[in-house]
């Protein structure tokens, strides 16, 4: 079991309660917002990723009855994560989560709808709780805040004293548990754990949160949560069709009376895909990496070269999607599109649904329309590390 704290003291056992029991009605989604995908993972999976890299040794996901099955499937992907069903209010759900967590030294309470929490932020709330009994993530208010009654402003509040509360909110387990116990159902009107703790006679300590640690509440929050650092790459290539060569596209042999001419296997589709990847990553193109003056690449399998390019590009970011179009008058590729997608997705190490290949003609115009060449164009989305 992981623990934190000074080595000459008893290890501090840290547990976590992640509240996911809301319905997310304000987000306008037809499902719980913690199950909204941000990139390739749901919000709650991003939260669990952060907690799995933190000092918390066990975690309870508090679910609504409707989502219990899905939450259990998600929990199974992680170690020491269990699921319990929550209540009608956030506070009731936290209390049920603390019951399910069982006694430990420090309890970290977090909202499943804050997917950008980091292990570092979790740790700073834990450190504060070890030292002061509590550590509540908060950021200074950016907007000027007024008290309003009806349509009238009745008080101008001093912004320098105002903080916006976030989660994690972390406490000594015994104290936050006793606070929830002592307040009973009156705790259920509290909107955060610091308020429950405060009503029980304690004064919680704040730690620096992050403006990035947003809570998904409204539709605009879902837009703000879109992955940042996306780069687009483009690639284009054309090869001449000649007799006596194989026609290979996306690593697939396509029966045809001619094949593409080139130094390597002349897989024009894979060449365009490689250049799109390299362009997104800001790396030199395939003409530089695999020059046609180098005999090592004579007759080379372009799929093998794609494997090498993928490795280089992965050092720069995560490949999110690739889309390509083959431009040829003949042959017709409809029957091979699915195999090309599979083959490229395997080489790229990404889901086949993230790779698309289409085909078009030039309506008999130009060298492609005359059947003298085949071209391909590709684009890709790369997410920064």
Q: Which residues bind Mg ion (CB under 5 A)?
A: 237, 271
Buried b (16+ CB within 10 A) or exposed e, 319-347: bbbbbbbbbbbebebeebbebbbbbbbeb
Of 240 and 312, nearer to Mg ion (C-beta) is 240
Cβ 285 to Mg ion shortest distance, Å: 10
Cβ 237 to Mg ion shortest distance, Å: 4
Cα distance between residue 334 and residue 344, in whole Å: 16
Cβ 370 to Mg ion shortest distance, Å: 20
Cα distance between residue 78 and residue 50, in whole Å: 11
Of 133 and 233, nearer to Mg ion (C-beta) is 233
Cβ 359 to Mg ion shortest distance, Å: 18
Of 94 and 248, nearer to Mg ion (C-beta) is 248
Residue nearest to Mg ion (CB): 271
Contact in structure between 95 and 62 (CB atoms under 8 Å): no
Cβ 376 to Mg ion shortest distance, Å: 9
Cβ 266 to Mg ion shortest distance, Å: 6
Of 199 and 263, nearer to Mg ion (C-beta) is 263
Of 67 and 267, nearer to Mg ion (C-beta) is 267
Cα distance between residue 234 and residue 275, in whole Å: 7
Cβ 239 to Mg ion shortest distance, Å: 6
Of 230 and 325, nearer to Mg ion (C-beta) is 325
Of 126 and 268, nearer to Mg ion (C-beta) is 268
């Amino acid at each position: 079991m992981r623990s934190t704290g000074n080595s000459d003291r008893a290890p501090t056992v840290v547990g976590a309660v992640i509240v996911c029991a809301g319905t997310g009605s304000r987000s306008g989604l037809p499902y719980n917002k913690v199950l909204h995908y941000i990139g390739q993972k749901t919000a709650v999976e991003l939260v669990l990723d952060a907690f799995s890299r933190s000092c918390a040794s066990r975690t309870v996901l508090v679910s609504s009855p409707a989502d219990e099955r899905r939450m259990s499937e998600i929990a199974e992907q992680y170690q020491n994560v269990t699921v319990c069903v929550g209540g009608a209010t956030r506070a009731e759900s936290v209390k049920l989560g603390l019951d399910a967590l069982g006694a430990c030294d420090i309890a970290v309470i977090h909202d499943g709808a804050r997917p950008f929490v980091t292990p570092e932020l979790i740790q700073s709330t834990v450190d504060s709780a070890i030292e002061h009994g509590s550590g509540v993530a908060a950021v200074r208010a950016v907007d000027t805040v007024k008290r309003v009654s009806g349509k009238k402003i009745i008080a101008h509040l001093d912004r320098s004293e105002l903080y916006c509360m976030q989660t994690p909110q972390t406490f000594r387990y015994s104290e936050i548990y006793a606070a929830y116990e002592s307040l009973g159902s009156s705790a259920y009107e509290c909107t955060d754990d610091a308020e429950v703790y405060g009503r029980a006679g304690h004064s919680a300590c704040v730690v620096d949160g992050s403006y990035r640690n947003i809570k998904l509440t409204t539709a605009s929050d879902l837009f703000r949560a879109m992955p940042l650092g996306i780069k687009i790459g483009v690639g284009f290539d054309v090869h001449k069709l000649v007799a006596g060569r194989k026609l290979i596209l996306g690593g697939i042999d396509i029966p045809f009376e001619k094949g593409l001419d080139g130094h390597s296997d002349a897989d024009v589709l894979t060449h365009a895909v490689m250049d799109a990847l390299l362009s997104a990553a800001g790396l030199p193109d395939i003409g530089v990496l695999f020059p046609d003056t180098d005999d090592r690449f004579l007759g080379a399998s372009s799929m093998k070269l794609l494997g090498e390019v993928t490795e280089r590009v992965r050092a720069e970011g995560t490949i999110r999607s690739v889309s390509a179009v083959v431009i040829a008058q003949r042959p017709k590729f409809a029957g091979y599109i699915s195999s090309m997608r599979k083959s490229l997705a395997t080489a790229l190490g990404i889901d086949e649904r993230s790779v698309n290949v289409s085909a078009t003609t030039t309506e008999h115009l130009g060298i492609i329309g005359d059947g003298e060449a085949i071209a391909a164009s590709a684009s890709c989305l790369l997410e920064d590390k």
